[in-house]
Amino acid sequence: MARADDLFIKTCKTILEDGYMDTSAKVRPKWADDGSSAYTKKVFGVVNRYDLSQEFPALTLRPVPFKNCVDELLWIWQRRSNNVHDLHSHIWDAWADSDGSIGKAYGYQLAQKYEFPEGLMNQVDKVRYDLRHNPQSRRIMTNIYNFADLHAMNLYPCAYSMTFNVVDHKLCGILNQRSNDILVANNWNVVQYAVLLHMLAIDAGLEVGELVHVIADAHIYDRHIPLVEELIKRPTFKAPKLEIDPAVKNFDDFSVDSFKLSDYEHNPQIKGIPVAV
């Protein structure tokens, strides 16, 4: 069994068996079809560790939509855009305005430049600089939860901060996430930040180490509960391999086609999962 499946099943079981159902609370998200409240069963505070030097953490219980997932990562971290017209999927359309903007969120924040002793840089370029020049630093971080701009974001950032650390020449990262829709985006986010660590490691001439995923509110939406109950009973397979185009050495040169999952044996996709808005 892939370790990622094991962690996913454990997280789901913890929520289903010990979680709190928020049906009696006033909740923000809604179901788009009838406007009813999208309640969740939730657990506060989940930490999952993925050793990327051992396996690539894609679920085999159902396939991760790998291309769209990497495309969204590049949209945020490399193209640093906040406009859905720069994204190839339609996953953000429900949160975009008539010009396609999702407001001052995600890519917008990573594009902002700040004054550092080494010059004016955005957060991503500062991480790249430090990984090359000060890999032993304990100050290599990004944070897009910018309070000054929250009023101008259509959805507040969920995966909002990364802390990087180099241990024995291996690049490790902690992904801090304030809120995670476990069925739709848990493995989606894990796969994205695993790919990000691979990209930054290659860019800095490092190996990959551990991805630590710290989730504050880990939830399963009410309409997803029967889907998750079925999903976690499925058989699992061994983890796929991540193949990366060996010609690409620079963070800015990666494209969706630079990455491929090989030997990816998985169960069928669950089609038409409703997404709470």
Q: Can you tell me which of 20, 31, 129, 156 binds ligand LAUPNLSC, judged by CB under 6 A? A: 156
State the binding partner of 275 from ligand MHF, ligand LAUPNLSC, none, CB within 5 to 8 A by kind: ligand MHF
What's the closest the beta carbon of residue 155 comes to ligand LAUPNLSC, in angstroms? 6
What's the closest the beta carbon of residue 72 comes to ligand MHF, in angstroms? 7
Enumerate residues 186-205 that contact ligand MHF by CB under 6 A: 188
Q: Can you tell me which of 3, 55, 65, 232 binds ligand MHF, judged by CB under 6 A? A: 65
- The residue among 170 and 234 lying less far from ligand MHF, judged by its C-beta, is 234
Distance CA 250, CA 201 (A): 10
Residue with CB nearest ligand MHF?
Answer: 185
179 assigned to a ligand binding site: yes
- The residue among 127 and 191 lying less far from ligand LAUPNLSC, judged by its C-beta, is 191
158 catalytic? Reply is: yes
Q: Can you tell me which of 17, 18, 26, 28 binds ligand LAUPNLSC, judged by CB under 6 A? A: 28
The DSSP code for 267 is P
- The residue among 48 and 130 lying less far from ligand LAUPNLSC, judged by its C-beta, is 48
Beta carbons of 186 and 179 less than 8 angstroms apart: no
What pairing do the DSSP bridges indicate for beta strands 259-262 and 241-244? antiparallel
The CA–CA distances, whole Å, from 100 to 81, 113, 130, 196, 213 equal 11, 23, 34, 25, 30
Beta carbons of 163 and 34 less than 8 angstroms apart: no
48 assigned to a ligand binding site: no
Strand, coil or helix: what is 120? strand
Show the site string, 126-155: x = touches ligand LAUPNLSC by CB under 6 A, - = not: -----------------------------x
State the binding partner of 48 from ligand MHF, ligand LAUPNLSC, none, CB within 5 to 8 A by kind: none
DSSP conformation letters of 205-227: T-EEEEEEEEEEEEEEEGGGHHH
178 assigned to a ligand binding site: yes
Q: Which residues pair with 243 in a beta bridge?
A: 260
The CA–CA distances, whole Å, from 178 to 43, 128, 148, 164, 214 equal 12, 25, 18, 18, 8
Q: Where are the beta strands (DSSP E) in the chain?
A: 20-21, 40-51, 113-116, 119-122, 140-143, 159-167, 170-181, 207-221, 241-244, 259-262
Binding residues for ligand LAUPNLSC, rule: CB under 6 A, are: 28-29, 155-156, 158-159, 179-181, 185, 189
Which residues are documented as binding site for dUMP?
138-139, 178-181, 189, 219-221
Which residues are documented as binding site?
138-139, 178-181, 189, 219-221, 276
Catalytic residues: 158
